[in-house]
């Protein structure tokens, strides 16, 4: 079976050689061969851990299982919740639909108190509201620097093998990226979440709906370039997942494909 999160032909295999490790599951890397260390003592142990990943959202060897709305399963590390692999263009209509689904879920109501350590429905919506404000501000900063236009010029210089111009445009884009900064800290801060949550679910749903529509209206020009850059800092669960220059479309794509879907599921789980 392919190794979780891998796209390079690496696999898992069952070691059937005689001895105390008979039946264990090991890795086989396409360039290095078999690894000596056993990942699991057997297939049953492996499947039990994968089942935990599916039902309790716990990582397996650093990766989490993701099931999309169509039931398709994939693996990704925690950073994948905040930055998509593709990062080429954002499906604006899908992003709009993700916001609509979240808002509709919030308006249904009927939420129970969360278990210890989990977020309430109000905190979930407060987080989305604040995070959307932060994402929108960064998107506006990226647009103000016309990074999409710079990227098109950079691509043209690359195609023409005009390396002097290419380096000049790269330096200009890097400088602009420093002014387009995204930091999710305030959207994870309990004091901020409490302050926003005080507005109540009805108000939060309306605010998220409006903010989501505003964000969707900004993205089209970014899709015309290739990979506008922003300075991105993301901490989740006390762990720094991203810190540095990052393709901004990758963050926007993950907002649509992972973050909003995750928050919608968290709301449903509170009923």
- Name the residue with higher pLDDT: 80 or 268: 268
3-state SS assignment for residue 76: strand
pLDDT at 135: 98
Does residue 168 carry a pLDDT above 60?
yes
Mean pLDDT of the chain: 86
- pLDDT, tens digit, for every residue of 104-131? 999 999 999 998 888 999 999 999 999 9
Q: Whole-model pTM?
A: 0.76
Cα–Cα dist 256/93, whole Å: 10
Closest among 155, 184, 169, 177 to 248, alpha carbons compared: 177
Query: pLDDT tens for residues 6-52?
Result: 445 578 899 999 999 999 999 888 777 888 889 999 999 999 988 88
pLDDT of residue 187: 98
Distance CA 151, CA 105 (A): 38
pLDDT at 86 (0 to 100): 62
For residue 37, the tally of other CB atoms under 10 A from its CB is 7
pLDDT of residue 80: 78
Dist. CA 152–CA 167, nearest whole Å: 14
pLDDT in the model for residue 68:
67
Query: What is the rounded CA–CA span in Å between residue 141 and residue 147?
Result: 9
pLDDT score recorded for residue 5: 43
pLDDT tier for residue 175 given thresholds of 50, 70 and 90: low
Residue 58, SS3? coil
Burial of 134 (0-12, 13-18, 19+ CB in 10 A): middle
Among 25-34, 59-68, 245-254, name the most confident range. Answer: 245-254
Main-chain phi, psi angles of 204, to 5 degrees: -60, -40
Go through the chain and tell me how many residues it has: 271
CB 243 within 8 A of CB 115: no
Measure the CA angle with vertex 25, ends 21 and 28; round to 5°. Answer: 115
Which among 57-61, 86-90, 148-152, 249-253 has the top mean pLDDT? 249-253
Q: With the CA atoms of 251, 252, 257 and 260 taken in that order, what torsion angle do they form, in degrees rounded to the nearest 10?
A: 100
Name which of 266, 264, 252 is nearest 148 in CA terms: 252
pLDDT tens digits along 218-243: 999 888 765 788 899 999 989 999 99
What pLDDT shows up at residue 155? 75
In the chain, the percentage of residues whose pLDDT exceeds 90 is: 53
Whether domain 87-269 has CATH 3.30.70: the reply is no
pLDDT exceeds cutoff 60 at 87: no
Of all residues in the chain, the percent with pLDDT exceeding 70 is: 88
Q: How confident is the model at residue 264 (pLDDT cuts 50, 70, 90)?
A: very high
- Position with higher pLDDT, 170 vs 233: 233
Burial of residue 164 (number of CB atoms within 10 Å: 0-12, 13-18, 19+):
exposed
Going from N- to C-terminal start, the domains of the chain cover: 11-76, 87-269
First-residue to last-residue Cα distance in the chain: 36
Sheet holding 239-247, edge to edge: 181-183, 229-236, 239-247
**pLDDT range class, residue 151, cuts 50, 70, 90:** low
* Residue-wise DSSP of 89-109: ---HHHHHHHHHHHHHHHHH-
């Amino acid at each position: 079976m392919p190794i979780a999160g891998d796209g390079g032909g690496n696999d898992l295999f069952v070691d059937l050689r005689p001895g105390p490790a008979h039946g264990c599951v090991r890795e086989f890397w396409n360039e290095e061969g078999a690894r000596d260390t056993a990942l699991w003592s057997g297939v049953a142990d492996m499947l039990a851990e994968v089942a935990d990943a599916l039902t309790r959202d716990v990582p397996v060897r650093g990766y989490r299982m993701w099931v999309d709305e169509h039931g398709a399963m994939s693996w990704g590390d925690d950073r994948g919740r905040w930055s998509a692999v593709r990062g080429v263009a954002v499906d604006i209509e899908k992003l709009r639909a993700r916001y609509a689904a979240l808002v509709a879920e919030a308006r249904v109501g009927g939420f129970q108190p969360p278990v210890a350590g989990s977020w309430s429905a109000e905190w979930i919506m407060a987080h989305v509201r604040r995070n959307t404000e932060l994402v929108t501000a960064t998107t506006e900063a990226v647009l103000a620097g016309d990074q999409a236009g710079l990227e098109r010029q950079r691509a043209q210089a690359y195609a023409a093998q005009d390396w002097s111009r290419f380096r000049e445009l790269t330096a200009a884009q890097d400088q602009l990226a420093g002014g387009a900064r995204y930091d999710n800290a305030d959207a994870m801060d309990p004091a901020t979440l409490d302050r926003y949550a005080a507005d109540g679910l009805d108000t939060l749903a309306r605010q998220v709906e409006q903010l989501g529509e505003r964000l969707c209206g900004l993205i089209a020009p970014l899709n015309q370039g290739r990979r506008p850059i922003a300075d991105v800092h993301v901490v989740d669960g006390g762990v720094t997942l991203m810190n540095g220059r990052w393709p901004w479309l990758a963050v926007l794509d993950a907002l649509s494909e992972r973050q909003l879907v995750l928050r919608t599921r968290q709301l449903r789980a509170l009923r």
